[in-house]
Amino acid sequence: MQNKSLKDWFIERKKQQKLARPKDVEIDDRVGELWVKCYNCGLQIPKKEFEANENVCPECDYHFRINARTRINQLFDENSFSELFTNIKPTDPFSFVDTQSYKSRIEVAQEKTKLNDAVICGKAKIDGYKLLAAVMDFDFMGGSMGSVVGEKVTLLLEKALETKLPVLVITASGGARMQESALSLMQMAKTSLAVSKLNDAGVLYMTLLTEPTFGGVTASFGTIGDIIIAEKGARIGFAGRRVIEGTIRQKLPEDFQTAEYLLKYGQVDVVARRQELRSILSKFLAIHSK
Amino acid sequence: MVLDFEKQVSEIENKIYELKQMSQNSGLDLSSEIKILESQAYEYKCELYANLKPFQKMQIARHTNRPNFLDYVNLIAEDFIELHGDRHGADDRAMIGGVCHIGEKSVMLVGTQKGKNTKENLEYNFGMPQPEGYRKALRLFEHANRFNLPIITLIDTPGAYPGIKAEQTNQGEAIAFNLKEMGKLKVPIVAIITGEGCSGGALGIGVANKVLMLEHAYYTVISPEGCASILWRDVTKAEEASEALKITACDLLKYKIIDDVIKEPLGGAHMDYNETAKNMKDMILRSLSEFDKMKGEQIVQHRYNKFRKMGVFI
Ligand SMILES: [Zn+2]
């Protein structure tokens, strides 16, 4: 119902824009407050409609990156999410300073996102099916994995081992958190070892790779799901584009490291549009619930 | 190859050499002068190598004459037979492994291999494995698991190879899968960072019960150059990054990321291969003996607990 009215609205609006250009600047007013501009096709979308469409452009289907809270609201049954491990916070074990101190980077990120660190864990439901979920947030220091992300994901996996509930980890990460040096590297081992215990116990472990997922998360819990789903258009890879270009000194294919590219090379089970995720996950949960 | 900070040492050593030549040619007895200079050089060297900065250690770790995997195979292993290939179409030369004896023990020995010149470096891809290298390593680990052979891994890599084909064949998954599957192995694993231990590419064969480092090796989540170019946006800040990242054996021992440090001869491993190898072999055998009485399940749990503890938060 909403989609239909939205479509009508766009046709109407396009006409208006055409008529208005270039004199009428009124249309571009208050962009960012009430309007969202699509990065991909440039269309201006009223924020309310955009949010009703799960932050996907209704015109070109461009999937906007979303933060962890938005993801939780969109994906899980209403009011089903109850957060776990809320009191674990980052610290600065190495007194790391680059152009800024790690301490101040943490403070800025916490202020900006209202999160303790780059992941939210909790119990949730999809179509009534219970599961344990970890949702990463790219807005918190690029979703980087340090001790807190590693610990919370591991605690969640251990809880799954204990309760036999299926797990879904939704990734969005630039990689390991350099400011925690080797400790962040070790989180890759810690989380992957926890997944190995789930394998032995036959507990379903699913990952949903979203824009963007790289480095230490790709090379640990992100790519060892029993089921791996990639969200449409997401960029996913091990090494970053610039690193690869710098090493091999040749141009990379247009669709390199996109969800669709990964599907072509056999790296993910499913590529899904955001609007399809609930129904796909619900089916996976039903089929594996014995 | 003389490193920058070694110049002073090499100047004194040149002087000693000159004096010796002079004494020989002229018949003059300069032995007392030579002796004084030699002891000065030794003292200077001891102090220099005891107080190396992370960036200096990195240069030693990357020294072209530093012993590589096959050197260690020759020096610490007997009856080594290389086991080739991942069984899926590739035999990555950057990752080499095989069965052998070390002392009385039958073991699986696997490691990354670097070259010492351009030709060798091309053959071994500068010690940067492709996904098939990690998959070959896992094949060998699983073989070891079936036949109860302890696993020794020697790590010296600037990282897993970043390239188009490596991404197509799933470099991230190849490493992640190793981390996960190494968690299931019921034989003891000893990993040794012998030179460079960079990021996931190093960890991909490093999920061990005992993690050891050579004295001047370094182990890090990202190369100091990579870190500098991302955080400082300036690759010339690599020296600062090398300090901030706490990459040395000494630092990592303090933070319990590694379990022990293997001593190198004065001046670094390349100064005396035999001594380095002897120290390494002793430490391997000592480490393995700790697991002699452990059952498979205990070994699995020991490894889990070791990594489970890592992480600092409030
Ligand atoms: Zn659009």
A17, pLDDT greater than 60: no
Tokens matching residue A235: 């960029």
Residue of chain B whose Cα is closest to the Cα of A86: B314
Residue A92, judged by CB atoms within 10 A of its CB (0-12, 13-18, 19+), counts as: middle
Query: What part of B 187-216 touches A (C-beta under 8 Å)?
Result: 199-200, 203-204, 206-207
In this model, does residue A26 exceed pLDDT 50?
A: no
Among the four given CATH numbers 3.10.105.10, 3.90.226.10, 3.40.50.1820, 2.30.110.10, the one describing domain A65-288: 3.90.226.10
DSSP class of residue B302 equals: H
Inter-chain CB proximity A180 and B232 less than 8 Å: no
Nearest CA to CA, how far is A236 from chain B (Å)?
Answer: 10
A159, A112 contact by CB (below 8 A)? no
Question: What is the predicted pLDDT for the residue at A22?
Answer: 42
CATH classification (class only), B58-309: alpha beta
- Token pair of A38, please? 């699509």
Q: What is the pLDDT of residue B112?
A: 98
The predicted-structure confidence for B276-293, as pLDDT tens digits, reads as follows: 999 999 999 999 999 999
Say yes or no for a CB contact (<8 Å) between A223 and B164.
no
Written as six digits, the tokens of A113 are 């996102």
At residue B56, what are phi and psi to the nearest 5 degrees? -70, -40
Residue B97: its H or E element: strand B95-102
pLDDT tens, position by position, B87-127: 999 999 999 999 999 999 999 999 999 999 999 999 999 99
DSSP B230: I
Q: Is residue A25 predicted with pLDDT exceeding 50?
A: no
CB proximity A251 to B under 8 Å: no
Q: Tell whether the torsion through CA atoms of A158, A159, A164 and A170 is positive or negative.
A: negative
Confidence (pTM): 0.93
User: How far away, in angstroms, is A27 Cα from ligand 1 center?
Assistant: 17
Domain boundaries, chain A: 1-64, 65-288
Looking at the DSSP bridge assignments, the partners of residue A123 are A82, A132
Over residues B11-51, the pLDDT tens digits come to 888 889 998 888 888 888 888 888 998 898 899 889 999 99
> Closest Cα partner for A120 from A104, A138, A107, A105?
A138
* B221 contacts A185? CB cut-off 8 A: yes
Mean pLDDT, residues A11-23 taken together: 58
pLDDT at position A248 is 85
ipTM: 0.96
CB B236 within 8 A of CB B228: yes
Kindly list the domain boundaries of chain B, sorted by start residue. Answer: 4-51, 58-309
**Mean pLDDT, rounded, of chain B:** 96
Whether A10 has its CB under 8 Å from any CB of chain B: the answer is: no
